Amino acid sequence: MKILDMTFVQGFIRMADDGFRMGWHERNGGNLSYRIKPEEVEMIKNRLKHDGPWTPIGASVPELAGEYFLVTGSGKFFRDIKDDPEATLAIIELDEKGENYQLKWGLVEGGKPTSELPSHLMNHAVKKRVTNGTYRVIYHAHPANIIALTFVLPLEDEVFTRELWEMATECPVVFPDGIGVVGWMVPGGREIAEATSKLMEKYDAAIWAHHGIFCAGEGAHNTFGLMHTIEKSAEILVKVLSMAPQKRQTIQPDQFRELAKAFQVELPERFLYEKK
Ligand code: 13P
Ligand code: ZN
């Protein structure tokens, strides 16, 4: 089957283009990856190359040995993905140790997978384990409101989660486990990948201070929806903080507890602290 006709490829391209149109991907900002199902690899295997060099990932992910990924290319613009997927995207295979990758398709004008490949793959490894293989998408974006909040809120999981939950009643239902925060670090390496993947053990979203956010999910639809919900809530918080230093009224801890009961979600008590 033609690679560009595959449903997972079309969903990936649509998601990238939606993200661009949301304004989350200036220039080459952000990156996206999908862990391809074995039956999908089977359907396209006659259209993949098998003779390229093996290149170090920059991290070790033995849990993902032999798996295939669709990823965005480093330095490629999200704006171009829809019109030129073969030049902006790549399919890669990992070796039997999970330490090197081989290019199987894409990047026809040259290039390599996203510089955040260590973070993507380490997050995939964690999510594959903790969700029993159901999560397949890792998405990194640069949404302005989330980034703006990292200049004014304390960089604590509890504070970001609680403040974002308060901004929209749907938030605790969409991300009941909360959101993690990583302080500023150099992007593109193993260290930030380790810090992020540690947060992915318990959260589906991890904010990178003064940089952006990573979201994880089962498919393109849900993962985009999570990013969208978090950024919308961040936008409301930016508006509120711009209008007044203090909220006049908000959703209270007991109201979150009522919501949890009604929607059958568990909200960890550490996010429902009393404010001074
Ligand atoms: P890439 O172009 O290498 O994917 O990098 C973009 C980015 O957002 C880095 O954090
Ligand atoms: Zn980035």
Domain ranges of the chain: 3-271
Q: Is the dihedral of CA 19, 64, 3, 84 positive or negative?
A: positive
| pLDDT value of position 78 | 98
Summarize the confidence of residues 144-150 as an average pLDDT.
99
pLDDT category of residue 130 using cuts at 50, 70 and 90: very high
Identify how many contiguous H helices and E strands the chain contains and give both numbers.
Answer: 11, 9
Pocket of ligand 1 (CB under 6 A): 28-31, 72, 74-75, 114-116, 140, 187
Using a 10 angstrom Cβ sphere, with 0-12 exposed, 13-18 middle and 19 or more buried, the burial of residue 50 is exposed
The helix (run of H) or strand (run of E) holding residue 106 is strand 100-106
| Start-to-end C-alpha separation, the chain | 60
Write the residue with the smallest CA distance to atom 1 of ligand 1. Answer: 74
Q: What spacing in Å lies between the alpha carbon of 28 and ligand 1's midpoint?
A: 6
CB proximity list for 7: less than 8 A, separation 6 or greater: none
Closest ligand 1 atom to 187 CA: 10
What's the one-letter identity of residue 251? Answer: I
pLDDT over threshold 90, residue 241: yes
Rounded to whole angstroms, how far apart are CA atoms 244 and 251? 17
Question: Best mutation site among 79, 112, 115 for ligand 1, i.e. most ligand atoms within 8 A of its Cβ?
Answer: 115
Q: What spacing in Å lies between the alpha carbon of 111 and ligand 1's midpoint?
A: 13
- Asked if residues 64 and 133 have their Cβ atoms less than 8 Å apart, the reply is no
Ligand nearest 73 Cα, by number?
1
- What is the 8-class DSSP label of residue 64? G
| pLDDT value of position 276 | 84
CATH architecture of the domain formed by 3-271 = 3-Layer(aba) Sandwich (3.40)
pLDDT category of residue 46 using cuts at 50, 70 and 90: very high
3-class DSSP assignment, residue 31: strand
| Between 245 and 144, residue with greater pLDDT | 144
User: For the chain, what percent of residues have pLDDT higher than 90?
Assistant: 99
Rounded to whole angstroms, how far apart are CA atoms 46 and 138? 26
Q: What spacing in Å lies between the alpha carbon of 99 and ligand 2's midpoint?
A: 22
Q: What spacing in Å lies between the alpha carbon of 210 and ligand 1's midpoint?
A: 14
- What is the 8-class DSSP label of residue 80? H
Look up the pTM and report it: 0.98
The helix (run of H) or strand (run of E) holding residue 117 is helix 117-130
Summarize the confidence of residues 148-166 as an average pLDDT.
98
Q: CA 48: distance to chain centroid?
A: 26
3-class DSSP assignment, residue 32: strand
User: Active-site residue 258, yes or no?
Assistant: no
The mean pLDDT of the chain is: 98
